[in-house]
Amino acid sequence: MTFAKRAAALLTASLMIVGTMTACGNNNQETPSSSGEGEGKVYKIVADNAFAPFEFLDESTGEYIGVDMDILAAIAEDQGFQYEIDNCGWDAAIGNLQSGQADGMIAGMSITDERKESYDFSEGYYTGGQIMIVKGDSDIASYEDLEGKTVAVKTGTQSAAFAESIAEEYGFTTVTYKDSPAVYAAVTGGTDAAGFEDYAVISYQIQNQGLDLKMIGDQQNITSYGFAVKKGSNPELIEMFNAGLANIQANGTYDEIMAKYGIEVEG
Ligand code: GLN
């Protein structure tokens, strides 16, 4: 390789790195600094951006709100750590966590054995599964009716994993989309006959956004949602998250947050 070629390759590589970082958008919100205690580290936390009621854009303020945002803020305040949040979306968030560009991730992320190979999780802070969705007037009433059809899922999610696990048995093909709104649009628009999404999220969408979708069947793979770090990194962040979660569960803040977003918590 000539010097010029090598320099060009290096430049391309560094541009790609910059590209990945800026792909995360510029909606950083810093937490109000608590009084300067702690080590002074500002943790970089990544999150989904279209996963109501866990994280979604409040159009009136331009800020991301939701259960995950409030829980993280309450825990950080309780534990006295600082963070900045980047609602870069599910796919980008996973990429940034894996590459070490983010310290932690909160995104309605299900704790699974497979993910435990790559991430360390906090204690669960919510429990829920995935469910099938079809257009409001669809005749599809069971997995059997999916024969020969296409089914929309969001990349790298438990919905995608579940749909893929039964695709052969029921004779359908999965189509992968980047985010939840794209999955809903594919189903309401008739591009795909059905989709899968987290139950709490799709219930919220149907109730609050009036999406022309209905749920079919039962929830699958009911699992806890957890806060994640890259395996082996930032163990203190997991400890603080767990300690703070226990405190906000004990002092009623957790219940207030869940009630604020209309989430039913069993038990
Ligand atoms: N709970 C699902 C999962 O972890 C979906 C998360 C999401 O789409 N933000 O796979």
Determine if ligand 1 sits within 6 Å of the CB of residue 198.
yes
The whole-number pLDDT of residue 7 equals 47
Report which ligand 1 atom has the smallest distance to the Cα of 90: 9
Percent of the chain with pLDDT over 90: 83
Residue 49, SS3 per DSSP: coil
Q: Name which of 86, 70, 67 is nearest 201 in CA terms.
A: 67
107 C-alpha to ligand 1 centroid (Å): 7
Report which ligand 1 atom has the smallest distance to the Cα of 180: 8
Q: Name which of 207, 68, 216, 66 is nearest 132 in CA terms.
A: 216
CA dist 165 and 163 (Å) reads 5
pLDDT band at 264 (very low <50, low <70, confident <90, very high): confident
Determine if ligand 1 sits within 6 Å of the CB of residue 157.
yes
Determine if ligand 1 sits within 6 Å of the CB of residue 87.
no
Least confident of 27-31, 195-199, 251-255: 27-31
> At 208, which helix (H) or strand (E)?
helix 199-209
CA dist 143 and 131 (Å) reads 11
User: CB neighbours (10 Å) of residue 35?
Assistant: 7
The whole-number pLDDT of residue 108 equals 98
Mean pLDDT on 52-77:
98
Per the model's pLDDT, the better-predicted residue between 149 and 25 turns out to be: 149
pTM across the whole model: 0.86
Least confident of 75-79, 122-126, 207-211, 228-232: 207-211
CA dist 199 and 131 (Å) reads 6
Cβ proximity of 83 and 48 under 8 Å: no
The whole-number pLDDT of residue 200 equals 97
pLDDT surpassing 50 at residue 22: no
